[in-house]
Amino acid sequence: MSSDKTNVNGLSSGEHQGQVATMYENWFLEYASYVILERAVPYLDDGLKPVQRRVLHSMWELEDGRYNKVANVIGHTMKYHPHGDVSIGDALVQLGQKNLLIDTQGNWGNVYTGDSAAASRYIEARLSKFAQDVVFNPKTSIWQSSYDGRNKEPVTLPVKFPLLLAQGVEGIAVGLACKILPHNFCELIEASIDAIRGKTVNLLPDFFTGGVADFSKYNDGLRGGRIRVRSVIEKVSRKLLAIREIPFGCTTSSLIDSILSANDKGKIKIKKVEDNTAAKVEILIHLHPDSSEDLDKTIEALYAFTDCEVSISPNSCVIVDGRPVFLSVNEILRLSALNTQELLRRELQIELSELEEDWHFSSLEKIFIEKRIYRDIEECTTWESVISTIHAGLKPYKKKFLREITDEDVVRLTEIKIKRISKFDAFKANEHIRGLEEKIAAVKQDLDNIKNYTVNYFKNLLKKYGKGRERRTQISEFEAIVASKVVISNARLYVNRAEGFVGHGLKKDEFISDCSDIDDVIAITADGKLVVMKIQDKGYVGKEILHVAVFRKDQDEQTVYNLVYQDGPRGAVMMKRFTVGGVTRDKPYDLTKGTTGSRILYLSVSSPDAGPTVIVKLKPKPKLRNLESVIHFGSQLIKGRGVQGNVVTKFPILRVAEATPEQEAQLRKKQPELFVPAGKEDKAQLKIEL
């Protein structure tokens, strides 16, 4: 008897687990595909997510020139969208707030303050003239059944405009995200014209909230790109700043919260903030009357510590042929322009077909009445004889037509009423046919010159709808603000050298300098260890602290450390001149060779162009005549932190002391070669015995 346990289906536990794993994998893939294709990512063809497409299709079905209650639009859309009224309402409000496809009436919220729209029963909407012109055409749409099979909906709408780039879109799917930023209406049309003409285009985003943006790292909207957007801050007076435009993705409420938070943390100093935003943004920042801070520095601090500057990372992803694809915005525009050209071609072909069909039947009708063929059927006794008699009467004129005369054409002729035959006007018939021929010739000419026709189409769009849609976001390049340079000094640095603690909470110990709570601190201890750490209330760096200071990497590149140390308890005395360079926080670095018992004998800080003069006194020893060695650090080469240094002496030393100004003056007279700047000689003298 088998020892394997079996379930109710007769499968062993291992087989059952394998079956469940396979089912889970398939279900998850189906779910992920559904979210990507049907909810989160827009389609390249029309630039819309499914819910947006269904909202617009429903509004087109309801369109009668008047406003519809949004609640009514939502209810109508539920015939096509299976995910409830909340998602439909949110999508509709977002479309309305972009002020492109939908004319709104009522309280639709405020994109500047973040206020939400009124309830759907109180607000109204209708399609804009622009949407009716460029978004819909049942004749060129491809249709599919709705989710319940009761209705037909378009697979994609035949949008003849780069709608995706104009509105922008953001969505999060399963393992995939999409973020395409909005671009300027007029620039998109001009770029579409260039794309049709085969020219290179270079699109940059434009935000309805305005602001100033640095697009130098935009990367065509692909992953890895990044843009920085800043508020427009105006200097109203010496103690008053006004924010007139805010970064994309922010609201006045979130921006003010970030300003108040930075003030509470001591990053900036302000008196109060007022929000006067209505139709336009206006945030007033009042500074303290006794503040000595420069306005420019305050503005830079606002950019550094608040949402007055934000970073946005685009991720241009669209659905192409049923698959998510990453395309640059310039490529999306090119494909959109070509899609518009193809849609216009199809519309012309449909129009040509309709005109030719109208010409065909009008010509048939004219011959049928003028040649009195209708009289030949008076004596026919069967339907078949009627059809054959009319065919026989039209046979001499068949060569005049663009296609064969079918039985359907003949049936239509028999449906002409006697009243119409009796009032037939040959002159009007000829005029109508002549007009059709002129239209057919014009359409054929447009088809033969489809590029020029498409360019003219875009130019007409720009002329008709471009007014008032000029660029709002200023294009600029600005350097990143170093926070440590603009933060106010909101803390004080103290040190307890003996116990090895550093921080801003040691108020009873030795004061070092003013600082801020975002600064780093550098400390060097007597055993030759260097550490850089984030300033804190009380941090341990090591006992016997010789040097402690605020560490700013950009400034410390010009700071030179002059060091004399003994390698182990009985080793040689070494000297080195170095800069700190890049370091990792809280990681101890050894400034000596690393020998146990090494000690720093002398340490000072100077600029690269100046260096102290140090006298090393040796312990008396038989046969040792010269008991002093002199080092002038200004004549030594500056190297990296990790260099071991050069030997000063191998004899035991008594002490190391910095030369007084008088001693240095005497040495300069007696031994000027000591003070030759580094690099002036092939080998600088490291040791001079007196």
Measured distance CA(271)–CA(237) in Å, rounded: 14
In the structure encoding, which two tokens stand for residue 503, read together? 């921080």
Parallel, antiparallel or unpaired: strands 539-540 and 124-127: unpaired
Q: Side-chain half-sphere of 647: how many Cα atoms within 13 Å?
A: 6
3-state secondary structure of 54: helix
Residue 686: both structure tokens together: 């490291």
Question: What is the rounded CA–CA span in Å between residue 274 and residue 342?
Answer: 53
Report how far apart the first and last C-alpha atoms of the chain are (Å, whole number): 101
Q: Which residues are catalytic?
A: 122
CA atoms of 207 and 188, how far apart (whole Å): 13
Q: Which residues contact 316 (CB under 8 A, 6 or more apart)?
A: 178, 179, 180, 220, 221, 222, 223, 326, 327, 328, 329, 332
> What is the CB-side half-sphere exposure of residue 214 using CA atoms within 13 A?
12
Structure tokens at 488: 């106010």
- The alpha carbon dihedral of 248, 253, 257, 259 has a sign of positive
Report how far residue 72's alpha carbon sits from residue 74's, in angstroms, rounded to the nearest whole number.
5
List the alpha helices (DSSP H) in 379-487: 383-394, 407-414, 418-422, 426-448, 450-465, 483-486
Q: What distance in Å separates the CA atoms of residue 186 and residue 653, rounded to the nearest whole number?
A: 80
